[in-house]
Chains A and B, each alone.
Chain A
Amino acid sequence: MSLDHLAIAPILLPLATAAFMVQLDERRRTLKAALSVVSTLCTIAIAVSLLAAADAAPPGSPAATSVYLLGNWPAPFGIVLVVDRLSALMLTLTGIVILAGLLFSIARWHSAGSYFHALVQFLLMGLNGVFLTGDLFNLFVFFEVMLAASYGLVLHGSGEPRVKAALHYIAVNLAASSLFLIGVSLLYAATGTLNMADLAARVPLLPQNERTLLEAGAAILGIAFLVKAGMWPLCFWLPNAYSVITPPVAAMFSIMTKVGIYVVLRLWPMVFGADAGASAYFGSGWLLAGGIATIAFASIGLLAAQDLPRLASYTVLMSSGTLLAAIAVGSAGVTGGALFYLVSSTLAVSAFFLLIELIERSRMPGADIIAVTADSIGDDDDENPNAADPIGIAIPATLAILGIGFAACALLLAGLPPLSGFIGKFLMLYALFPATEAASGAPASAVTWTLLAVLLLSGLAATIAMMRTGIRVFWVPLESEVPTVRFLEVVPVVGLLVLCAALTVEAGPVARFMQATAESVHAPQDYLQSVISAPRAGQAQSPEPAP
């Protein structure tokens, strides 16, 4: 019973913290920062305990999915929150990425604008809600909470490039939200339900004339998520926005594209899986082609990128494309590898966004648009307000740490051994061939080979781009002083990279967990069963009424 109520805590805790912080005076920044960190730490602790509870059940048993009925209404009528392995994994990952960005911002960036900490907590609330909800319309509501907070965070720090980027970002996301609503209402018109599990149960029973409506709705809904995930023809907003926003926000936003991926991973195998009758695997060809095109676009973008933030933005796209293409294969083995890659690449991209800000510290603030050239890194014209801080005084050790961090990020993002990026890619490729042979009965097809080639070539492109940049940035004579870096700013970068290293060391257990997650995603009967037959609590003691 107590664990049941824990399911809503990742939404309520950041909401309460944020609501409280909005009241506080803007000058009490230390208190706000402390509150924000404590709230995020508690959310991570809750997420980890949910993860442990979901993983404790043997794979395939319905106990791995726990359902929380808001307002104690039975499932298809009321709103549900669902915690299973996938949600708990995403909750934990979100908490970690937000915490890293938050710690980094406390050293410097959180004072660049108002309400930073409240917005971060609202972002955390929206993200957690998206990962927990089992209802399409609530998904929209939490999406909008997340987006509203993200609009504020994009504008954090202000300045002309950010305001221009925010204008595009908001317009694109508002248009995508309209598509989201059109898709949701078409699905409702076709099936008469908004509950994801109920929707999946009704799809195989639909008559042919309603099926067209359903597929149109699903395709429109899919476009809304793929805009968020950054699939190729829908991704041109992403590099512009991600390369000008403040670095801690960019680090947090590395989880935002994964929201689109998560929804595709949650809904597509469930609603259009093997059991969906005539609609089985609807749209898999589009998803696969889009994923491959995204990888290709991101590889070209990586090679053409002139400055570090833009390079990092294209690694976000590359990670999205790889995940979309892997999910589109539609087999549990490949999805397991993709989940491993998702965790590893999210942590690595997040660390990379933080790292490049430290590397570029010596350049003028706000000079994000200027291309990095071989000698600009030496110019120390930055008026750092924290220059008096005794930790991390300009010694080459700072540069050494940054260099090692950069090398680790490059290995992770390009998917080279020995770090976890390689393991994720290897797991995907290893599962790719048996998957397609089992599906079609024939030897690996041209599509499989294309995917293989694109994945490997994208790794090569990332390696070339990162090495070229690394040489330009680090292998230059030290003409002047090294950038001053505070201890608090190194901690999140090193922490994220250590987590990636831990993923590598503990690859066996982690891969088993990802495999169990992928199998439950692709065999959603337990999920459906748990949601539809979720028992009501004896007496109503809901913490919030259903909206």
Chain B
Amino acid sequence: MEIILALSIGALTSSGVWLLLRSRTYQVLIGLSLLSYAVNLFIFSMGRVRTEAPPILQPGVPETLANYTDPVPQALVLTAIVITFAMTALLLVVLLAARGLTRNDHVDGRGAGQ
């Protein structure tokens, strides 16, 4: 499972970075979204990868990390998802405004229009 998780984070990050460096605004937006997915998975995996372990204390089960998964990264990733989602929506609006004003979807607003 670790290798699949690591590979998917790697694939998302590399394609995200590649798209981020492209010259069209929509590609940059998608690149940032992919990057944020990769980051969310990464935060999640930093609490150590565990299966079939609940993050909430249960009666009768000893309160050690051997019986539970770490709840903190799960809480963090929730916050991170909300924030990056909102920021991506905002960037989309700015992207459309720039497209309207420059009549062009180049990141500098001066490439050959399509």
Binding site for B on A (CB under 8 A): 137, 140-141, 144, 147-148, 151, 155, 158-160, 163-164, 166-168, 170-171, 174-175, 177-178, 181-182, 184-186, 188-189, 194, 547
A interface: dominant SS: helix
B87, B108, B109: residue with the most chain A Cβ atoms closer than 10 Å: B87
Task: Check B79–A171 contact: CB distance below 8 A.
Answer: no
Task: Check A185–B91 contact: CB distance below 8 A.
Answer: no
Task: Check A144–B87 contact: CB distance below 8 A.
Answer: yes
User: Out of A137, A148, A184, A189, which one reaches B90, CB within 8 Å?
Assistant: A148
Residues of the B chain whose Cβ atoms lie less than 8 Å from the Cβ of A167: 25, 91, 94-95, 98, 107
B interface: dominant SS: helix
Task: Check A151–B28 contact: CB distance below 8 A.
Answer: no
User: Out of A141, A159, A174, A186, which one reaches B91, CB within 8 Å?
Assistant: A174
* C-alpha spacing A174/B29, complex, angstroms: 10
Binding site for A on B (CB under 8 A): 20, 25, 28, 32, 35-36, 39, 42-43, 46-48, 72-73, 76, 79-80, 83-84, 86-88, 90-91, 94-95, 97-98, 101-102, 107-109
Residues of the B chain whose Cβ atoms lie less than 8 Å from the Cβ of A186: 46
B73, B79, B102, B107: residue with the most chain A Cβ atoms closer than 10 Å: B79
Tally of A-B residue pairs with Cβ under 8 A? 89
Residues of the B chain whose Cβ atoms lie less than 8 Å from the Cβ of A158: 97
Task: Write the nearest CB–CB distance from A139 to chain B, whole angstroms.
Answer: 12
Task: Check B20–A144 contact: CB distance below 8 A.
Answer: no
Residues of the A chain whose Cβ atoms lie less than 8 Å from the Cβ of B43: 181, 184-185
**12 A–B pairs (Cβ distance < 8 Å), ordered by A:** A163-B94, A164-B101, A167-B25, A167-B98, A170-B90, A171-B28, A174-B36, A175-B20, A175-B35, A178-B32, A185-B46, A189-B48
Task: Write the nearest CB–CB distance from A183 to chain B, whole angstroms.
Answer: 10
Q: What is the chain B residue whose CB lies nearest that of A136? A: B76
Given contacts A170-B91, A185-B46, contact A164 B79 (CB under 8 A): no
User: Out of B20, B88, B108, which one reaches A164, CB within 8 Å?
Assistant: B108
Task: Check B102–A182 contact: CB distance below 8 A.
Answer: no
* C-alpha spacing A144/B82, complex, angstroms: 11
Task: Check B73–A185 contact: CB distance below 8 A.
Answer: yes
* C-alpha spacing A261/B23, complex, angstroms: 31
Task: Check A170–B94 contact: CB distance below 8 A.
Answer: yes
Task: Write the nearest CB–CB distance from A224 to chain B, whole angstroms.
Answer: 12
Task: Write the nearest CB–CB distance from A429 to chain B, whole angstroms.
Answer: 41
User: Out of A140, A164, A168, A194, which one reaches B102, CB within 8 Å?
Assistant: A164
Task: Write the nearest CB–CB distance from A168 to chain B, whole angstroms.
Answer: 7
Task: Check B94–A137 contact: CB distance below 8 A.
Answer: no
* C-alpha spacing A137/B78, complex, angstroms: 12
Task: Check B91–A171 contact: CB distance below 8 A.
Answer: yes
User: Out of B36, B86, B109, which one reaches A160, CB within 8 Å?
Assistant: B109
Given contacts A151-B90, A163-B97, contact A188 B39 (CB under 8 A): no
* C-alpha spacing A168/B107, complex, angstroms: 8
